[in-house]
Amino acid sequence: MDAKTRMYDVGGVLLERPFKARRLGHFALWQSDLEMARRLYVDVLGFRETDTIVRDGKAVALFTSHGTDHHSLAAIHPSTAEGIRKAHYENGVLVNQISFQVGTLEEVAGAHDYFAERQVTISRLGRDFPGSNWAVYVLDPDGHRVEFYYGMEQIGWDRRSKPRAAYLDAVRQGFTLPQPAEMTEIMTAERSGIDLASGFRPAEALSHDYCVGGVMLPRPFKVTKIGPVNLFVADVDRSERFYTELLGLTKTEEVIHRDHRCVYLRCGADHHCLALFPLALRGELGLNASSTLMSIGVQVASYRQLKDAIGFLREKGLRCIDTIPFELHPGIDYAAHAIGPDGHCIELYHAMEQVGWDGRATSGRATPARRRGLAADTRILTRHLYRPGAAGPAGIAPLGSRAISSQSPEHFALIGKKSTAARCPTAQLGLAPRGAAAQNLPDNRDTIIRPPGR
């Protein structure tokens, strides 16, 4: 570390912190009904169950994944919450953890020391099973637990998790470096007679009735990514400083909606992996009044899958809503929102804007394909985009702002066509603009949203 400038050597590159968040890796909620969570995550959304933790004959944690990581979406029973985390849960913090992957184990250790020096509340440092990841956990100003982790058990073609007999003792009181490689642990387990093929493998009982891109699946879509995580916070300014100045996320954009400031943060090329909204918006949007989670994002592979997912979710009993306006998900052109049986909002989308080398988002450049008609009450939207390093608030300056109303000629056109099957009209489910044209479409028409001129 260069003591004069407080820069840290992270893999040969000087950074402002001894760690760098590479991606949003996984996310967990407190869930008092784990069987309900399993039906929602696995049967409905298509995540694959990878492990369940049982204590005294009762399931206390469910782990699911959409890819090769051991888990990307988890449900934890609140009976396991203790101390300050139990107090936060009782106050509506139903997010168990938001987890960012770093590049090395040294970064996890360095992050712990960095947070301790700055008196950030540290929840835990150690290693977890199942998943085998090393991590440090801190609490944000509202009590959401944020994890920085290294290493994650990978599940291959046979869909088997690491057998419990191969678990090592969980690490709870810190650790020293270096640690043995995971392959060393595997070879030790083999020499001790542990059957590495004896791990948990999910039973897939659902019939594969849907052709999805040429492959038969149990549902008409496939999840490709988890996130963004959208949070309601008590003080947007304070939370923004925490996530940018302390944790190192980058502000991509902010939106002023009905005089509420909403902030969108990223850790990679995606437009945002985390968004911060004021608590006052929760009631205005008609969302769960007992939770600080605005929504959890789930990306599917294509626009067609997104459309087909809406009808599928409705068939499974989820309630689709159109109360979240387009301007509150910048970087995402097409999104649908559904309320699960746990009362949480799920944001489905198929593509997210990528931020390039210049650090600029395109969503503020006023291209016709990025601007839709807003609500018929002509609310004014102002977006501010930021570039790291320029002068201005918190070290970043607006690259430009623009106000647009629902009367703008840049709004999207709705092109209707006859539906050939009983489908849920997308105009009523958040895929179409919320202007009068969308609201007046007859129920038996399918809609395609196109920019003018296409």
- Positions of E strands within 102-174: 122-127, 134-139, 145-150
Q: Is the pLDDT of residue 373 over 60?
A: no
Residues 113-120 have a mean pLDDT of 97
pLDDT tens digits along 279-288: 999 999 999 9
- What is the layout of strands, in order, in the sheet containing 260-266? 319-321, 335-339, 345-349, 293-300, 223-233, 274-278, 260-266, 250-257, 381-388, 396-404
Place of tokens 């159109």: 322
Each domain of the chain, given as residue ranges in start order, spans 8-198, 217-408
Query: What pLDDT band is residue 74 in, cutting at 50, 70 and 90?
Result: very high
Kindly report which listed range (45-49, 302-306, 366-370, 371-375) carries the lowest average pLDDT score.
Answer: 371-375
Q: Is the pLDDT of residue 413 over 60?
A: no
Backbone angles phi, psi at 303, to 5 degrees: -60, -40
Q: How far apart are CA 450 and CA 454, in angstroms?
A: 6
Residues 360-385 have a mean pLDDT of 44
Query: What pLDDT band is residue 363 in, cutting at 50, 70 and 90?
Result: low
Q: Is the pLDDT of residue 5 over 90?
A: no
Kindly report which listed range (61-75, 125-139, 346-360, 412-426) carries the lowest average pLDDT score.
Answer: 412-426
Find, among 55, 346, 102, 319, the residue nearest to 229 by Cα.
346
Question: 433 in the Ramachandran plot: left (φ > 0), alpha (ψ -120 to 50) or beta?
Answer: beta
Q: Is the pLDDT of residue 430 over 80?
A: no
Residues whose CB falls within 8 Å of the CB of residue 408, separated by 6 or more in sequence, listed in order? 371, 373
Q: How far apart are CA 33 and CA 29, in angstroms?
A: 11
Q: C-alpha 61: how far from its chain's center?
A: 19
Give the side-chain half-sphere CA count within 13 A for 434: 19
Q: Is the pLDDT of residue 86 over 50?
A: yes
Cβ atoms 438, 447 nearer than 8 A = yes
State what percent of residues in the chain have pLDDT above 70: 79
Neighbours of 446 (CB within 10 A): 18
Query: What pLDDT band is residue 205 in, cutting at 50, 70 and 90?
Result: confident
Residues whose CB falls within 8 Å of the CB of residue 298, separated by 6 or more in sequence, listed in order? 45, 223, 225, 226, 346, 347, 348, 349
pLDDT tens digits along 88-102: 999 999 999 999 999
Find, among 159, 214, 162, 158, the residue nearest to 48 by Cα.
159
Backbone angles phi, psi at 139, to 5 degrees: -105, 135
The pLDDT of residue 385 is: 53
pLDDT tens digits along 185-201: 999 999 999 999 999 99
| Domain 8-198: CATH architecture, name and number where available | Roll (3.10)
Residue 448 β-bridge partners = 415
Question: Which CATH number, 3.10.180.10, 3.30.70.580, 1.10.468.10, 3.40.50.300, labels domain 217-408?
Answer: 3.10.180.10
pLDDT tens digits along 235-272: 999 999 999 999 999 999 999 999 999 999 999 999 99
The pLDDT of residue 3 is: 47
Length of the chain, in residues:
454
Cβ atoms 220, 210 nearer than 8 A = yes
Do 8-198 and 217-408 have matching folds?
Answer: yes
Query: Which tokens hold the place of 108?
Result: 């996890």
Find, among 132, 124, 149, the residue nearest to 19 by Cα.
149
158-182 b/e with 16+ CB inside 10 Å = b? eebbbeeebeeeebeeebeeebeee
